[in-house]
């Protein structure tokens, strides 16, 4: 009786809603796995035919029907290789998150996800009914248990499959990226494999989908819980793996280098930008550059995502822009090889001030005039976007957006907020990481005190706590859910903590109108943070 199997892990970039494109990708991958790698079975990611997450597309019967037609076509089209395919399945009354094992025109087994995540970015209970039982299928007389994504994170499904004498677990996944998600996955998979004495084949998709980024990281874990094969991050690939069911515990990890946190985060942003722009058919991107670190990092990410010919930098100096800001912005553009156009805002700004002068009579200049400058720049960027069809990438970071240190309809204006989930302190780390790869961001840009340059001698710290302090408070309050008292007990000044918390809630209305951006944090300002704007609770 054969006790070995060659499994192809299909780490694919799938497009939500584009079922035909996804089907074509399944066919090509299956043929490659069969003909080039001589694989016995290919495992696709979760809901691979529809892409994940399809959200309210699942409420349209025609969408589910088209997915079913694609599955039927694939079943009849591919022979001589087992295919484990993810798709929605309706029994006429309920809809299930399902994977089906197909082979030579037949459906060998069908499994419906038992543990539906309904937290953070996940909303599966809105669409699906949980499955009720395990599914064990035979591939070359090897009993394979099927589980889907969240099933791995709970005790029951793998344990039940082991109780039914499964010899291996095959698991399609759609697991979004977070800065420490790989380590979390390894911990969970180690426990499931080791406790149940079962190797696990874990297959994850790799793509950007609106604010979510999926990093891949597909892998094989042996019975001891050790990582023994790895497909890497942020690359579309088919990884063939030979598993001898008798010798799997002896297979050890070899030459598996896991990228650093900074590298993974940077690549997540690159993939998020690339897929958002390409899948929504924008010809390119526009970035307003200022000589500051946020716009510098945003421009570098855009160029790495799209190439220099699809990115344009726009420098919009004002009366308050320092010469070194202009010099550094131009040097940055030159280093990255992008076109940089300079459009001063002074004429437009003066016109606004003249038009508003009668209404402002008797009132001193204040933040109003600062915001007008930011809105002048937004008008210019959006005009260029309209004229050329390019998407404006906003440059604000998580720290600023959290406390409202940004201008609604000003620097917040744009289609995709690249650094929306990146704290300012991480911005510096990512800039330094990018310069280690190839030095493109001027060192002075990194070392200068951050400033919006909307008033004379302005510094961010005139209005905000120092960014290391601010980011630490934000981590405690936003990510960890700590109270003001708990944060103060860690050594922070109460008045500073109260100010930050008040600013967070005061500026909820701004965030509701902000562009989406790549999520790298388990408590991002999109699906993870759902606070009411009209809110009397003060914390």
Q: Which residues carry out catalysis?
A: 46, 113, 149
Residues near 452 by Cβ (< 8 Å), separated by ≥ 6? 370, 458, 460
CA distance 323 to 318: 10
171 three-class SS:
strand
3-state DSSP assignment of residue 432: helix
Rounded to 5 degrees, what are φ and ψ at 98?
Answer: -130, 155
Q: Write out the DSSP string of 136-155.
A: EEEETTEEEEE--THHHHSS
CA 523 to chain centroid, in Å, comes to 12
The encoded tokens of residue 536 equal: 């009397």
Determine which helix (DSSP H) or strand (DSSP E) holds 229, and give its type and residue range. strand 227-230
- The 3-state secondary structure of 84-107 reads EEEEEEECCCCEEEEEEEEECCEE
The answer to whether 237 touches 211, Cβ cutoff 8 Å, is no
CA distance from start to end of the chain: 65
Bridge partners for 142 per DSSP: 139
What is the residue whose two structure tokens read 């942003």?
Answer: 269
DSSP conformation class of 222? -
For 303-319, b/e burial (b = at least 16 CB within 10 A) is bbbbeeebbbbbbbbbe
**H or E element that contains 388:** helix 367-388
Residue whose token pair is 């109460």: 494
| Assigned token pair, 21 | 């494109």
Q: How many CB atoms lie within 10 A of CB 506?
A: 12
CA distance 520 to 211: 9
530 cis-preceded (ω within 30 degrees of 0): no
């Amino acid at each position: 009786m054969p006790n070995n199997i060659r499994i192809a892990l299909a780490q694919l970039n799938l497009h939500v809603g584009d079922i035909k494109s996804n089907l074509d990708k399944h066919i090509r991958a299956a043929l490659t796995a069969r003909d080039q790698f001589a694989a016995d079975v290919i495992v696709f990611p979760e809901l691979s035919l529809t892409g994940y997450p399809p959200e309210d597309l699942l409420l349209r019967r025609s969408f589910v029907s088209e997915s079913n037609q694609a599955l039927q076509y694939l079943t009849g089209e591919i022979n001589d290789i087992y295919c484990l395919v993810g798709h929605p399945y309706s029994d006429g009354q309920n809809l299930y998150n399902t994977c089906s094992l197909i082979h030579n025109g037949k459906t060998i087994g069908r499994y419906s996800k038992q543990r539906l995540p309904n937290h953070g970015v996940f909303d599966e209970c809105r669409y699906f009914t949980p499955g009720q039982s395990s599914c064990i299928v035979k591939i070359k007389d090897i009993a394979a248990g099927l589980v889907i994504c969240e099933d791995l994170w709970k005790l029951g499904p793998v344990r039940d499959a082991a109780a039914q004498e499964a010899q291996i677990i095959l698991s399609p996944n759609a697991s979004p990226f977070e800065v420490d998600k790989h380590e979390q996955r390894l911990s969970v998979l180690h426990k499931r494999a080791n406790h149940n004495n079962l190797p696990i084949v874990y297959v994850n998709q790799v793509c950007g989908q609106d604010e979510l980024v999926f990093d891949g990281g597909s892998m094989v874990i042996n019975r001891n819980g050790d990582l023994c094969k790895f497909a890497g991050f942020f690359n579309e690939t088919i990884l063939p793996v030979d598993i001898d069911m008798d010798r799997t515990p002896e297979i050890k990890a070899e030459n598996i280098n896991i990228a650093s946190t900074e590298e993974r985060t940077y690549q997540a942003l690159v993939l998020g930008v690339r897929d958002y722009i390409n899948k929504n058919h924008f010809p390119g991107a526009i970035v307003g550059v200022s000589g500051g670190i946020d716009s510098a990092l945003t421009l570098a990410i855009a160029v790495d995502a799209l190439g220099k010919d699809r990115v344009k930098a726009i420098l919009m100096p004002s009366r308050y822009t320092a010469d070194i800001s202009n010099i550094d912005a131009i040097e940055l553009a030159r280093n990255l090889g992008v076109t940089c156009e300079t459009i001063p805002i002074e004429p437009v700004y003066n016109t606004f001030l003249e038009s508003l002068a009668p209404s402002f009579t008797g009132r001193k200049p204040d933040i109003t005039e600062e915001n007008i400058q930011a809105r002048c720049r937004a008008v210019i960027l959006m005009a260029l976007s309209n004229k050329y069809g390019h998407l404006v990438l906003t440059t604000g970071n998580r720290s600023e957006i959290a406390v409202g240190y940004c201008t609604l309809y000003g620097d917040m204006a744009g289609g995709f907020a690249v650094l929306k989930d990146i704290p300012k302190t991480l911005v510096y780390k990512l800039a330094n990481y990018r310069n280690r790869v190839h030095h493109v961001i001027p060192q002075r840009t990194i070392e200068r005190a951050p400033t919006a340059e909307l008033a004379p001698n302005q510094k961010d710290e005139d209005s905000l706590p120092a960014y290391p302090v601010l980011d630490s408070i934000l981590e405690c309050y936003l990510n960890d859910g700590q109270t003001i008292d708990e944060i103060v007990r860690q050594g922070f000044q109460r008045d500073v903590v109260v100010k930050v918390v008040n600013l967070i809630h005061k500026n909820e209305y701004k965030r509701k109108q902000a562009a989406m951006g790549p999520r790298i944090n388990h408590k991002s300002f999109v699906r993870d943070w759902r606070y009411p704007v009209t809110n009397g609770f003060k914390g």
